[in-house]
Structure 1
Amino acid sequence: MLRKRDRITKKCQWSLDVLDRAIKRVNDDRISLHKAAQEFKIPYSTLQKRYRRLEQTSPRLGRKPIFFPDQERILTDHLIDMTNLVYGLDSMKFRKIAYECAEQLKIPHNFNKKSKCAGPDWLEGFLKRNTNISVRKPESTSINRIEGFNKKEVELFYKNLEELMVKNKYEAHQIFNMDETGVYTVQEPGNILAKTGQKRVGTVTSWERRKTVTVVCAINFAGVYVPPMFTYPRQDHSPLLEKDGPPGAIYDCSKNGWTNESLFFKWLQHFKTFVKSCEDNKILLILDNHNSHLTLEAHEFCKANYITMLSTPLHSSHRLQPLDITFSGPLKKAYNRECDLYFKSKNLIKVTPYDIAGLFQKAYSKVALMDKAISGFRATGISPINTNIFNEDDLRREYCCYQHSG
């Protein structure tokens, strides 16, 4: 919560209007600066400085702002753009973006370098200087709204989608969906046959404690697949991790194997190179509402390269992400089968992170089909646009499922 401080200083009690009248009195009536300062209750040194330099600015207390007005305008525009595209930026996320902006522009600042975040006092000052931005209390959070897949959120998504389609006239090859999926060193065993009544049924799998590798995939409505990006849970990358991987794929590492802000930006650069976006080839990129997608760096990169990011509502990927609908499930099943075959053919040799790219490629080549991509966009009503793809029963069913699962 932002804090409100009461003014306790007696400095700068004068206003710019009083200063103007004092200077006018000196010029018109030829009185001394000392006399004018006493008469209008302005410090003599202040009046002298303003009179000699004609520095007609309002009095200012405290530290000067970190950003110049035009730089704060960049932050304001980013905040408004994110809000319009269904991204919710709370005060903490926005303060982190302010820190990122200061670092990116190499502006001296006193923000917290450990948490990589601007302070609440900075945000308070920012809101006072930019009155078109305000902190608003979220609407009442019913269970249905928390789940995200509800009528209001879905209608807003399709409204934004329709406006972008009308404005930019995207064709099938320009409409993309991006999503992340996890693959593991431990395959998920499928159903097996066993004696009726037997309580415990086991199968052989690799590693008891699995390691997660995040794979970023993207498709368009024309059925084209962007070469994926792999993120491994380790400190340093090794070329051995790329063995037999998908052609054109890129590879990197993070501490936990998840995609973070810098890795998402790396993927965006990879994506831009593949799709060749330009003024004559504008791209729509539909993706989920993850924190790593909210950075100012990513937003500015997309604007400069004619890529528009549109977010799906929170917790709606299973209904509004084409990749989730027709691709991710079959991909994981195919990957588990490849792991199982590899594991058994190698006489119980463990699947390691160095095997993942090759096993993934075998599964990927079987599942990454044109018809799966196209049917995913159709099933979500994204392309061609079908705002009535979900009816009241669909929304009610989601609500009931959420209640029962809770």
Structure 2
Amino acid sequence: MAPKPRRRYTDQELHDSIKDVISGKSLDDVSAATKIPRQTLQRETRLVRLGIVKEPKRPGPKPILPSNAEADLVSWIAAMQRDGHPVNQYEIMRTANRMVQALDPNASLTSGWYYRFLGRNPVLSQRMAQTISRARNEVDDESVERLYNSMKELMAKYQFLPDRIFNMDETAFNSRKKSHNVVVIKGSPNVWAKTISTNFHLSIVACGSASGILLPPLFLLPGETVDKTLSACSIIDGATISTSPKGFMNEDLFCEWLRWFARLVDSCNDNPVLLVFDGLASHYSPTNATHLFQPFDICVFRPFKDAIRKAIFQAMVEHGDINTISKSMSLEIASLAWSSHMVPANVISGFATAGLFPLSKDEMMRRLRLFKEGGAPASGVDVEWVERREYVRKEILSLPPLAPKTTRRKTIDVGGRILDLALLQEIDQSKEDKRRASDLKENLKRKRQAKKASKSKPGASKVSASVAKKKNPTTKKTPAAAKSTAAKRKLTNKRAKHD
């Protein structure tokens, strides 16, 4: 049997042809001009005249997961992203299979369906998720408002120019290891990459102004001493090196750095400087908001860290016997990366993107919305329908449960009462009932304590009476006790005669 020919016209062409026929053109002329079969054109025109609207159908076999179910799945994916829990291929396949098996327990989906699903829904795309802590995602509108008002007040009072507004931030030489895309031979069953790392922590303190002025960096090494041959200071003019117990900035070092900073920018009462930084209780930047309002974090550190990673890879390729990076080598790599990739334009862009200069509340709010909604852009995807913990829409396509605002007491005071299931569900519902139950409980406690106290006194008299009986051998025995004693003596005498 010959295969059924595929249609050679689009839905729009069919729609236009039907309009032509309804307007008075002949079926034959329209069919010849558009290559739409006459029979098809006649049938579709008749349906339109009868007011019957046909839903468009996709070519090929009927999908395992209906189109409306796929739409629900897309909405769930968007809602999870806005909730800060973006899902990956595994989670989507797991959820879709649960949906399918709710309709047909023997059905299942494969990875082929997953890629066709992405193709049918171009609103979705695969991206690398940026991980931020829960605390960093808790910055709210009030924190941003407070930052903006503080900056606005200071700008109005001191009329800061861009060359008097600075940002200070700290980053590490070693970034977190993560997978990256590489080009390999097709069919390779396993692709892995070598890496080298440091066995110490190196901090790099950077500072720059809204006008693009970059101050020399401070390199912080762990320990108490540094090698005289370290070349960082010779590569970057004015660079400084110091040490701390673990290679992190501490209070003493920060105060010393502030004095160095004041000398460098010539700060005085007549010519004040505004320094924006995080890490102290007295900062102007909101807590846990370094990813939102720190210019160096936003636009400067990424190209700098990328240059460090590339230099480490190049050193590993050129010197195949390297197993770790020494302090002198790490300082040299960081200094060269600083010289080539710390660009004033990036610093200026960082201040503008953070909304710090030019001061912009809209930019600050835009940054907050960008992270608050998981980076999801405005789209036609319906995410409002998603319910929390209520099968398919209510059980499978669910978000994490909302944290309870108040905790209800899960126990009741028994107070000596005998309770069945009905009573357990009904009693002590009001505050008055709960108060009475609490009184019953306290009264029962007092009764038990009094009973315990009364029992402890007769116990002592019983002990003294038993001691007195042992000391007084003339105590009269009862008839039964005397009879038992005589029988024992008789049995003892018989055994003695037998022996």
Q: TM-score, normalised by structure 1?
A: 0.54
Indicate the SS of the match to 1:311: coil
Q: CA deviation at 1:189?
A: 7.1
Q: Does 1:387 align with 2:361?
A: yes
* Distance verdict in 2 for CA 1:165–1:252, change over 3 Å: same
Residue in 1 that maps onto 2:268: 278
Q: Do 2:311 and 2:333's aligned partners in 1 also have CA atoms closer than 8 Å?
A: yes
CA 1:159–1:197 in structure 2 vs 1: closer, same or farther (change >3 Å)? farther
1:271, CA displacement in angstroms?
1.1
Change (3 A) 1:199 1:274: farther
Aligned pairs (5 A) from 1:225-264 = 225-243=214-232, 244-264=234-254
Distance 2:306 2:313 in 1: 11
Unmatched 5+ stretches in structure 1? 1-142, 295-308
Tell whether 2:148 aligns with 1:158: yes
* Gap change, CA 1:380 and 1:397, over 3 Å in 2: closer
Equivalent position of 2:159 in the other structure: 169
Q: Once the 2 structures are TM-superposed, how far is the Cα of residue 224 of structure 1 from its aligned partner?
A: 0.7
TM-score (norm 2): 0.45
Q: Quick one: structure 1 residues 160 and 199, their matched pair in 2 at CA, closer, same or farther if it must change by over 3 Å?
A: farther
- Structure 2 counterpart of 1:278, one-letter code: C
Task: Give the number of aligned pairs.
Answer: 244
- The answer to whether 1:348 aligns with 2:337 is no
Distance change >3 Å, CA 366–CA 340, structure 1 → 2: same
Distance in 2 between the 1:351 and 1:191 partners? 24
Q: Distance in 2 between matches of 1:399 and 1:242?
A: 43
Aligned residue among 183, 205, 213 for 1:193: 183
Shift of 1:388: 1.2
Identity over aligned pairs, percent? 26
Identify which of 347, 353, 359 aligns with 1:373: 347
- What are structure 2's unaligned runs of at least 5 residues? 1-132, 376-398, 403-499
- The DSSP-based 3-state class of the residue aligned with 2:335 is helix
When residues 311 and 176 of structure 1 are mapped into structure 2, their CA distance, relative to the original with a 3 A threshold, is same
Which one is further off, 189-198 or 160-169? 189-198
List structure 1 runs of 4+ shifted beyond 6 angstroms: 143-146, 185-189
Q: Which amino acid aligns with 1:311?
A: Y
Q: What is the CA deviation profile of residues 232-275 of structure 1, one whole-angstrom value per residue up to 9, with x for unaligned ones?
A: 12232333334454221111112211111111112112211211
Q: 1:362 aligns with which of 333, 336, 358?
A: 336
State yes or no: 1:324 paired with 2:314: no
Picking from 170, 175, 192, the partner of 1:202 is 192
SS at match of 1:251: strand
Q: CA deviation at 1:346?
A: 2.7
Q: Would you say the 8 A contact 1:179–1:287 is kept in 2?
A: yes
Higher strand content, 1 or 2: 1
The 1:178–1:158 alpha-carbon spacing in structure 2 relative to 1, beyond 3 Å, is: same
* C-alpha spacing 1:375/1:400, structure 2 compared with 1 (3 Å): closer
**Which is higher, the Rg of structure 1 or of structure 2?**
2
CA distance in 2, matches of 1:194, 1:200: 10
Q: How big is the shift at 1:195?
A: 4.2
Partner SS state of residue 253, structure 1: strand
Say if 2:323 is the partner of 1:314.
Answer: no
Partner of 2:237, secondary structure, is coil
